[in-house]
């Protein structure tokens, strides 16, 4: 990724990966899209290439990100969805013009009508609607890391995944438990 910015934490589910552009929410938060160009970069990684991004569009993207996180968190905790978050997700979902197209290899790709940030955000919002509404096979969960608490979509067979990302939060927690055990039982 671009020098001077934290790497993206990429996942397989568009909407929850988007919420991961702000990590360590309950600790020292890490903003992974601090400037419009970083949003352009993130969208390109997910096949949603846009031509440009204004500061106002970045603000709309962050508002959508936080709304998805709030709604996904409520869904994971089996609580009522926040009405304001639902409204933002719905508004962004219908604001863009994008279509799902089938590639020759049988994969779904999104085709943005105008390569605008609004079109890309509508795809992310539609993905959020699918996972929060239960339309997709999987379960919304929250990362067990006390500093992270990221919402993620668990598609594991047992639906018992604990970490948003084993390579970051999972390893950090396992290392902390290992070190705590060594302090308690020095050999």
Q: Are 131 and 16 in contact (CB under 8 A)?
A: yes
pLDDT of residue 173: 67
Separation of alpha carbons 36 and 50, rounded Å: 11
Separation of alpha carbons 119 and 53, rounded Å: 12
Q: Are 143 and 150 in contact (CB under 8 A)?
A: yes
What tens digit of pLDDT does each residue of 94-123 get?
A: 988 888 888 899 988 888 888 899 999 999
The model's pTM is: 0.85
pLDDT of residue 176: 66
Output the 3-class SS for 71-118.
HHHHHHCCCCCCHHHHHHHHHHHHHCCEEEEECCCCCEEEEECCCCHH
Instruction: Name residue 30's beta-bridge partners.
Output: 23
pLDDT at residue 146 greater than cutoff 80: yes
pLDDT at residue 177 greater than cutoff 70: no
What tens digit of pLDDT does each residue of 41-88 get?
A: 999 999 999 999 999 999 999 999 999 999 999 999 999 999 999 999
180 or 114: which leads in pLDDT: 114
101 or 3: which leads in pLDDT: 101
């Amino acid at each position: 990724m671009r020098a001077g910015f934290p790497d993206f934490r990429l996942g397989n589910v568009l909407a929850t990966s988007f919420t991961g552009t702000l990590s360590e929410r309950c600790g020292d938060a890490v903003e992974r899209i601090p400037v419009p160009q970083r949003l352009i970069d993130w969208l390109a990684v997910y096949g949603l290439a846009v031509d440009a991004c204004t500061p106002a569009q970045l603000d709309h993207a962050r508002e959508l990100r936080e709304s998805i996180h709030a709604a996904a968190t409520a869904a994971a905790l089996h609580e009522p969805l926040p009405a304001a978050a639902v409204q933002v997700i719905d508004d962004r979902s219908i604001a863009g013009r994008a279509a799902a197209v089938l590639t020759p290899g049988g994969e779904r790709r999104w085709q943005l009508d105008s390569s605008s940030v609004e079109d890309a955000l509508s795809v992310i919002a539609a993905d959020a609607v699918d996972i929060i509404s239960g339309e997709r096979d999987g379960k919304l969960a929250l990362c067990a890391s006390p500093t992270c608490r990221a919402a993620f979509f668990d598609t594991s067979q047992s639906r018992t995944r604990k970490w948003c990302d084993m390579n970051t939060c999972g390893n950090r927690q396992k290392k902390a438990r290992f070190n705590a055990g060594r302090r308690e039982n020095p050999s």
